[in-house]
Structure 1
Amino acid sequence: MMNIHLCKLKFSAIINAISSIILKELTNLPSHPVSFLIRSKRNISLFTVLALLATLLLPAGMATTVRAAAAGHVVISQIFGAGGNNGAPYSHDFIELYNPTSETVSLNGWKLEYASKAGGFPSNNNMTLSGSLAPGGYFLIQQAAGANSAASLPTPDASGSLALGGTDGKVRLSDASGAVVDMVGYGAATTFEGSGPTKVLSNTTAAIRKPSVTGGNDRGQDTDNNATDFEVGSPAPRNSASPSDVPSVVTVQPVTGSPAPNAWPAGTAVTLSTATAGASVYYSTSADSTYRAFTSPIVLTESVTFHTYAAKEGAEGSISRDLAYDVLAKQSVADARLAPVGRNVWTEGVVTAVNGREVYLQDNTAAIVLYDYPDQLRAGDRVSVQGEMVHYNNLQELKPAAGLSLEILERDQPVPAIRAVTPEQLAAPAGEALEAQFISIDNVTIGAKSGSTWSAKQAGSDTSFAIFSSSAKVKENAAFDRVIGVVKQYQGIYQLVPLHDGMLVDQLFTVLASPAGGIVAPGTRVALSVPAGDLPIRYTTDGSEPTASSPLYEESILVDRAMTIRAYATDGEQRTETLSFSYQLAGEVGIRDIQGKGHASPFVGQTIQGVKGVVTQLGYNLASATPSYKGFYIQTLEPDNDPATSEGLFVYSTDASKKPAVGDVVEVSGKIDEYNEGLATNLTTTQLALASISVLESGHELPAPVVLGAQGRQIPTPTIDDDKMTVFDPENDAIDFFESLEGMRVQAPAPVITSPYWISSGLYTIATRIDNGSSELVTPAGGLALGAYKDYNPQRVLILSSNPGFEVGTGDRFAGDVVGALGYHAGNFKLIPAPGSLPAIETSSFAQETTTLQPEGDKLLVASYNIENFYPGVKAEKIEKLGDSIAHNLKAPDIITVIEMQDRNGETDNGIVEADATALIQSIAAKGGPTYTYVDIAPVNKEDGGAPGGNIRVGFLYNAERVQLADSVQGRKGGSTEATAYDAASDSLTLNPGRVDPTNDAFASSRKPLAAQFVFQGRKVIVVANHFNSKGGDQGPFGAAQPPILSSETQRHKIAAVVNGFVKTIVQANPEANVVVTGDLNDFQFTKTAKVLKGGELANLIDTLPAEQQYTYTYDGNSQVLDHILVSRNLLVGSKVDVVHLNADFPESRGRVSDHDPVLAQIDLTPAPKPDFRMTLLHTNDTHANLDTTARARSIRCSSMRETCSPARCISTSTKAWPIWRS
């Protein structure tokens, strides 16, 4: 290899001399060996030619075999975008990949993107790939389905939901580093490789890549010219099972750089490599055109472009590739914000706030959010930060990346002043200049709410603005002197986000103290401030009344003894009331003193010296693929006998040089913080930010864990809090119980898992139950059912982990005890075991259920099924499983209320609102079920909530061989904004199907109920499908606000009243009318929502089930009812119900196809015979009863009838007959 290198250097002068001649002749020599160079992803350059010439000068045996059209990388080999269109041969769009190389290529992390013919590639229209591509192999990726039936594709290797254009569009393939591997523009696409796109496609044709050699069978030609590399013909999809087409001459894969081309700090070492084993890499640079073999990493000292290729004996050389690197230069925040997505930037500023995983950084030009950076940052830190630019719902953020740094330059720096603005300045597009900055708006009145976003107005302004807050202080008509917050953007709307209640200023003209009083460590300093501004403050420290001659506050006040600070402020014309703040000095401070008897440390904000304890567990950022060190837990060696004070504490540190070992006895010093890892409504975790550490002893025995449950400390249940957190009561309040163990080692004995795990911020939560010695509703699967309003089963033990490496289901059991530190995450207390310490899982034998209801020909089967964001582009496996569950597990109901049906292209936000149930109907039929008919009313675009662009709605699948849609008064179905009504004279709906009062404000940003009247064996039944608004915006049961505010309930109560009113009009007009109300109410069977919906007209069939079987959904480890079927009172006796548990308890690997279980009811519509009734007869004998003096026969009433009877009955007992009227 050294000889080759020297040979190439020796001939460099010749290469330079003749390269220009070669370039001039290229156009006249199409068969010249260098013609393969047009396959480069960049324009032909001198350096590309030099790469060729250098290769040609290799010694014999090392020269590359050149073919005019070979590809050295995975290519997009076929595109078909008319799946399911009229006359299309296949039901789905598809994209096919081909690997023309001799190496297996991993597709993990690769990405496919689709864009319309003239559009850019949107960030939300892509899919991530996984798996691998064998040499010469194909990889078939199924995409969205069309409306018409057609043949299925060969078994796809992956499935996505991209709705490709049938005639034109463009597809881009990128590798895991983000580098574009291939791109194809077809039809009228305005972006393409080479001279133009492929020819226009049709419903019966696909773009198919040509073979790399004449007469070949592979699909590997790649001259980087879509117009000539593809032919248009009948789609012929190939998958991984298709015969491989390895080219007779192997092509070396192109050169890649590590780190990937971008801007990197000076001194970064760049490695060039190829995935082809045994191949050599060659490169030149813009500064030095001589090609040389790559032998060792190249250190970046200036911006440079590497012109590269790779070669291997007996193989075709790789395509040439230019890899451009820039040296990262520091910019202002405003300039950094101009960087495109994916670009690395370097900036500097002062941290203005830390809110969970978000850090707000600002300089004198602009501000930006830092996301997921090490959480040792705090307000006032001046930092130098490097990161990758990303957009989250249009909010610009920097994210950390390997090779980029963050440095704290100075602590305790002044933060930029809060900027007072008007609502007009916050509105788009002006709001962009304020993004991530702290602003304030004065004289604010809160208006209506949508989710967690409130509209608000400033006094004197007609412009509304958005406030994002879950604070209990924010409610309709609330008024604030000032609202302070950061500016965040969510999909084009600029929102003011108060980070805590202190930013919702009720009164500006007052004095605040920090800390505000209590026990403090010696040396603590107290800061005084006035929200209204920098006003003079007069104060005393002996408890006396301050006067105009008292000391003027100029710097923080040292607390060196017990003292009471009294203070007032003045603006020259008036003064605030005098406020008092009392302080006591603490003695030696231990862990239990720091934790205190409460949810916040009495020493928060203070620096504590010499805290001793034994290290029980190291802490890591478990969300990272390679968990990073973030501190350790310590516990008191000699605990007291007070269970109300925790003996454990988390010590925060990312300094690996100060990392102790488990079992070390340490003495630590640092500042006490209350850390909030998420929303302002969460509780906080007491921690010590490590400043210094001394190891006093190693190998010490760890304290025994506190055993939870009946074998140790019993968890209070059902009470979470009963005193608005005014009394710390660990014996009776679960929220206080867990707080009293914060940071300590705890043990859950052989816990049983109560639901599949869920993932939040990359962390996995596994909900479990233990033997707590308390009464519980255990479901047949082994979960915990909710049995009463606001009883959230606080005795659950939630386990927080990194990816456990296995899926879990309800009823699974850990094979041993789970031991770890007790912490708080995502609104709940959680047991955090050390990484890798979870016991094995014993899988439950509980299996997916089939309904116990037996179909009977003369009885109606009605189901309610939330099919979780369904549209034709979901995975084929989901469509198949849904079809099977309906045909077999539900035994093919006559009518199915379908919930969460999206429009036909899912979350693609392009104005399409019509749904397409064809694929689902076909799947049911293929599994042996009937061929259903689907009916719905499409919503107004973006008006009904749900996933953006999805246009979610309810609809009906019905078996037309068993039931038929009844005629309506108007002979048609309703429109999106038309209300149907019941016409008693014809026993019909005015519109069928029709929406229930769709313009009512109760349904704002929520699904509108859909009523349909069906005929079953000559009898009519009205079915009302519902999907009430979600619980989004509700405060959590273990949050900082007690009792939690369930703000979403109000809208559900309104919706329930509207639907009940609709039913009421029917049964009042026709007491014998058959009415069924179904759907996802997003509320439990014992809530006000359910009671309002029932009224006196309906009965909830869920109530007829045993309590432990009442659930359709799991959330936070609780089994609960969200899905209901209610019937009019006349149908109750003849109705049965079954919740078919086949989804909620199971992970996808065990068959889960939705997050909801379906509910099935069997209803007898035959009118029930009237029962016997008792009647008291009034016997008359002419005038003996003085009936001849009665003015009207109707005034005689029968009061002892056992059953209401109508019409009046005439009983004759002598010479007169009188009607007996019902009482």
Structure 2
Amino acid sequence: MRVHVLSGLTRATAGVAVCGLALATLVAGGDTAASATPATSVVVNEVYGGGGNSGATYTNDFVELTNRGDAAVSLDGWSVQYHPGGATGTWQVTTLSGSLAPGGFYLVGEAKGTGGTQALPTTQATGNIAMSGTAGTIALVHDTAALTCADPAACQSASVDLVGYGTAALSETAPAAGASNTASVQRSDKADSDDNSADFSAADPTPGAANAGGDGGGGGGGGGEPGPLRIHDIQGTSWISPQNGQHVTNVPGIVTAIRPAGSSRGYWIQDPAPDTNPATSEGLFVFSSSPGVAVGDSVLVSGTVKDFYPLSSGDTVENTSNLSVTELNSPVVSVLSHGNALPDAEVLTPTTVPGKYAPDLGGTDIESTPITPARSALDFWESREGMRVQVDDARAVGPSNDFGEQYVTTKPAQNPSYRGGTELLAENAVPSGRIEVTTADGSDPGVSVGDVFTGATAGPVDYSQFGGYTIAATQVGTVKHRNLPPVVATPQDRKQLAVATYNVENLAPGDPADKYTKLAQGVVTNLAKPDIVAVEEVQDNTGATDDGVVAADQTLTKLTAAIVAAGGPKYDWREIDPVNDQDGGQPGGNIRVVYLFNPARVSFVDRGSSSVDRSTTPTSVEKLHGKPALTLSPGRIDPASTVWNASRKPLAGEFRFRNKPVFVIANHFDSKLGDQNADGRFQYPAQSSAVQRAGQAKEVHDFVQRIQKVDKKADVVVLGDLNDYQFSPALATLRTGNAGGHGRPILTDLISTLPRNEQYTYVFDGLSEVLDHILVTPAVRGVRYQVIHINAEYTDQTSDHDPQVLRMTP
């Protein structure tokens, strides 16, 4: 999550709203020192009296004006006047000159204090009024003679605009609140309501957004001439800016995109006159909670360079594996002109991005190496950070999600799945063509895997708050939906036993009825009513409420009833309630694995005393009448072992089908939380969670081996969400007993028997990958196996996992 602390509104958007002032002529008995006030589009935009005070950033007080009309206004003969705001007092005057262009700003500097660390940007008028930081009144007057009014109505009539703040007795309706040594009061972009308390908000002071089109002076931020540094000097040839932490002045660029909402509001600028170094980016993000600029504006921006790291909860800059984004913070902007052509977007072809996603640096930080655009996709995107790029006819390889993300590929022929995704097929081999797309305006294209953005999708390159490069698209191609059909399993015949696994994603009684209905349809229609379903992520009866409840009978009653309503069998179930808060997952949810089974087709063999605490007592294998049997069925495999700390314990059970025994071991291995980001700094990333999964795999492998020691022809099915890939050390350990995969395998991972372009059960960050598995012992005959794609590829998901089903003949 973005961790910038926003200071509230910082600048009203100029030239957008139409001024709503209806200015009257003087009434009898009113002020006689000023002439009748003409209607005008010029208003007070910002008032700051804390300059030079304790804690202040700026050394001077100031008043800022803006022109909200569509024509320039001459300010010759005008003045800004200050009243201390009480029932008594006199008006002090600062005269103005020059003109104010439409959409422009005019900065009036006032008295300097002894505090503050930063001078005001170039002002267009200067006075010596010592304004109060907390209470006072500013009048914009079409005259230079001091006002003599002493009541709000008379002063409003005598002024072009009147702004009272704090406890001021003189204001429009009510004074603006929140002014202090560190906060100014700033006008919103709404039409003037003649109520200062409604029209103004307090925020960090932002002086100097003057439009250079007015002949009253140059732009804020240090004048109207470019400073010594260009964007490519700030970005440099290193991942961390050579100017990091430094204040830079009047950096030129064209505004190419605006992010108006969210926790990282601001805008991108790009230099239309690039250098010849391919490693130096010409784009830069300006972090501003109220941008106050428009796409196509030519600007000069001053501010502090900051390499910002998107942080997750509990992360620090030191421990995050995310890459940094070079930004310009606390900006002061001068708008030189409007409506400029944007720098051309770089069109990305299938050969533009390097074929390798990340270099192997032995786990070290890529930010300690020079940017080398031809070395890897990570280098390539870093060298374009903030710059406009374009992908034509981009195919979606990851569906739109609740965070406004979707993924496309720039390399359509790279590792394509048979349904249009991009597959992950080896460790540290992320397909380099895959790139995230977000929309700059926050709109949701609603794409699923295989859909195509026809035409151009273009925008500046950014780095996601969740980690990974993204195109912040200001132009999105027209979506051509492929309407990917859901997969439907082939039903089992009378002699076939169908065993399925399905992660139902934190299923709780409080979930909408629609989720239960869709899950039931998936079981009945798409999985074709399997005889046994191992279900993962079933929560307790109170869901994520951490109240000590561990029973899940209400959750399972709702699920099985929904299956009956969808035309399915009345499934029975077996499960073991976990010890409260000991099995990981969503806090308070107490997720567990559960067997659903159709008692009309298959029977469950219950073994062990009902008085045994099965949550902590392990099951084991014994010989019974010459055949293997479980001492506890259902039972857990070694629940006290440290490999199951904060993780689900495997559920082992005996079934009988056509009077033949079948052992099923349902699993939900430890998740990948805590692993370093594959799109991040450390390459190749450390997978700290892999150690625990390998240990879990060894426990299950050895348990299967104990069954086989009694009967080498035993039918054993190991299945579930194993949270790891088919090529991972954990799966090698599960099959063979060692992470290298050497030795005789006692289990076959069925996902690896499919054609390569069908080997996936999950889509994460645009990667079609395997997390869910069904494995069988060599004795299992008549194997027919399918992955049932109904969730992971779709923007409208019931769960984030796809189920799968095995048909076998015991």
TM-score normalized by the length of structure 1? 0.46
Structure 2 match to 1:551: none
CA separation in 1, counterparts of 2:447 and 2:657?
42
CA separation in 1, counterparts of 2:647 and 2:398?
28
Structure 1 match to 2:521: 884
8 Å contact 2:400–2:446 — kept in the other structure? yes
Matching of residue 1114 in structure 1 with residue 763 in structure 2:
yes
SS at the partner of 2:695? helix
1:594 to 216, 234, 239: 234
Closer, same or farther in 2 for the Cα pair 1:949/1:609, shift >3 Å?
A: closer
Structure 2 match to 1:1145: 793
Note the alpha carbon deviations across 1:1056-1082, whole angstroms, 9 max, x for none. 111112112111232112111010011
Structure 1 match to 2:807: 1162
8 Å contact 2:454–2:480 — kept in the other structure? yes
CA separation in 1, counterparts of 2:175 and 2:253?
47
Note the alpha carbon deviations across 1:78-118, whole angstroms, 9 max, x for none. xxxxxxxxxxxxxxxxxxxxxxxxxxxxxxxxxxxxxxxxx
Structure 2 match to 1:746: 389
Q: Residues 1062-1211 of structure 1: matches in 2 within 5 Å?
A: 1062-1095=703-736, 1096-1131=745-780, 1134-1148=782-796, 1152-1165=797-810
Amino acid of the structure 1 residue aligned with 2:323: L
CA separation in 1, counterparts of 2:551 and 2:305?
56
Note the alpha carbon deviations across 1:1086-1114, whole angstroms, 9 max, x for none. 11111111112211111101121111111
CA separation in 1, counterparts of 2:690 and 2:185?
43
CA separation in 2, counterparts of 1:327 and 1:1019?
84
CA separation in 2, counterparts of 1:777 and 1:405?
53
8 Å contact 1:717–1:795 — kept in the other structure? no
- Structure 2 spans left out of the alignment, 5+ residues: 1-133, 137-163, 168-173, 187-196, 208-226, 737-744
Superposed CA RMSD: 3.2
Structure 2 match to 1:1006: 647
Q: Residues 846-857 of structure 1: matches in 2 within 5 Å?
A: 846-851=484-489, 853-857=490-494
Amino acid of the structure 2 residue aligned with 1:652: F
8 Å contact 1:716–1:737 — kept in the other structure? no
C-alpha deviation, 1:690, in angstroms: 5.8
CA separation in 2, counterparts of 1:1094 and 1:384?
66
C-alpha deviation, 1:805, in angstroms: 4.3
Matching of residue 607 in structure 1 with residue 256 in structure 2:
no
Q: Residues 587-986 of structure 1: matches in 2 within 5 Å?
A: 588-617=228-257, 619-623=258-262, 630-654=265-289, 659-679=292-312, 680=317, 681=320, 682-689=322-329, 691-710=331-350, 713-719=352-358, 722=361, 724=364, 725=366, 726-760=369-403, 764-771=404-411, 776-801=414-439, 802-826=441-465, 827-834=467-474, 837-851=475-489, 853-916=490-553, 917-968=556-607, 975-986=614-625
SS at the partner of 1:754? strand
Note the alpha carbon deviations across 1:139-182, whole angstroms, 9 max, x for none. xxxxxxxxxxxxxxxxxxxxxxxxxxxxxxxxxxxxxxxxxxxx
TM-score normalized by the length of structure 2? 0.68
C-alpha deviation, 1:950, in angstroms: 1.3
SS at the partner of 2:643? helix
Closer, same or farther in 2 for the Cα pair 1:1159/1:720, shift >3 Å?
A: farther
Kindly tell me the number of residue pairs found equivalent between the two proteins: 590
Closer, same or farther in 2 for the Cα pair 1:810/1:691, shift >3 Å?
A: closer
CA separation in 2, counterparts of 1:858 and 1:971?
33
C-alpha deviation, 1:992, in angstroms: 0.8
Closer, same or farther in 2 for the Cα pair 1:405/1:1081, shift >3 Å?
A: farther
Closer, same or farther in 2 for the Cα pair 1:786/1:655, shift >3 Å?
A: closer
Q: Residues 173-212 of structure 1: matches in 2 within 5 Å?
A: none
Between 1:1093-1102 and 1:720-729, the stretch displaced more is 720-729
Amino acid of the structure 1 residue aligned with 2:517: E
CA separation in 2, counterparts of 1:886 and 1:670?
57
8 Å contact 1:797–1:830 — kept in the other structure? yes
Closer, same or farther in 2 for the Cα pair 1:898/1:973, shift >3 Å?
A: farther
Structure 2 match to 1:1028: 669
- Structure 1 spans left out of the alignment, 5+ residues: 1-264, 268-298, 303-325, 330-345, 349-380, 387-400, 412-586, 1166-1223
Bigger relative CO (Cα 8 Å, ≥ 6 apart): 2
Note the alpha carbon deviations across 1:872-920, whole angstroms, 9 max, x for none. 3321111112112111211111111011111122223322211121222
CA separation in 2, counterparts of 1:1036 and 1:1025?
29
C-alpha deviation, 1:698, in angstroms: 4.4
SS at the partner of 2:586? coil
C-alpha deviation, 1:984, in angstroms: 2.3
8 Å contact 1:1034–1:1045 — kept in the other structure? yes
CA separation in 1, counterparts of 2:386 and 2:304?
17
Amino acid of the structure 1 residue aligned with 2:789: H
Closer, same or farther in 2 for the Cα pair 1:610/1:934, shift >3 Å?
A: same
Closer, same or farther in 2 for the Cα pair 1:944/1:654, shift >3 Å?
A: closer
CA separation in 2, counterparts of 1:632 and 1:328?
28
Indicate the structure (1 or 2) with the bigger Cα radius of gyration: 1
Closer, same or farther in 2 for the Cα pair 1:1072/1:841, shift >3 Å?
A: same
C-alpha deviation, 1:838, in angstroms: 2.6
Amino acid of the structure 1 residue aligned with 2:262: A
C-alpha deviation, 1:598, in angstroms: 1.8
Amino acid of the structure 1 residue aligned with 2:271: T
8 Å contact 2:532–2:596 — kept in the other structure? yes
8 Å contact 2:422–2:768 — kept in the other structure? yes
CA separation in 1, counterparts of 2:724 and 2:529?
27
8 Å contact 1:675–1:684 — kept in the other structure? yes
Closer, same or farther in 2 for the Cα pair 1:910/1:588, shift >3 Å?
A: closer
8 Å contact 2:550–2:578 — kept in the other structure? yes
8 Å contact 1:1078–1:1125 — kept in the other structure? yes
Structure 2 match to 1:107: none
8 Å contact 1:781–1:846 — kept in the other structure? yes
SS at the partner of 1:1058? helix
SS at the partner of 1:1066? helix
SS at the partner of 1:1137? strand
C-alpha deviation, 1:1115, in angstroms: 0.9
CA separation in 2, counterparts of 1:1037 and 1:847?
31
Amino acid of the structure 1 residue aligned with 2:454: A
8 Å contact 1:921–1:931 — kept in the other structure? yes
Q: Residues 288-303 of structure 1: matches in 2 within 5 Å?
A: none
C-alpha deviation, 1:1015, in angstroms: 0.8
C-alpha deviation, 1:929, in angstroms: 1.8
CA separation in 2, counterparts of 1:609 and 1:266?
32
SS at the partner of 1:784? coil
Q: Residues 464-483 of structure 1: matches in 2 within 5 Å?
A: none
8 Å contact 2:260–2:266 — kept in the other structure? no
Identity over aligned pairs, percent: 39
C-alpha deviation, 1:931, in angstroms: 1.2
Amino acid of the structure 2 residue aligned with 1:664: D
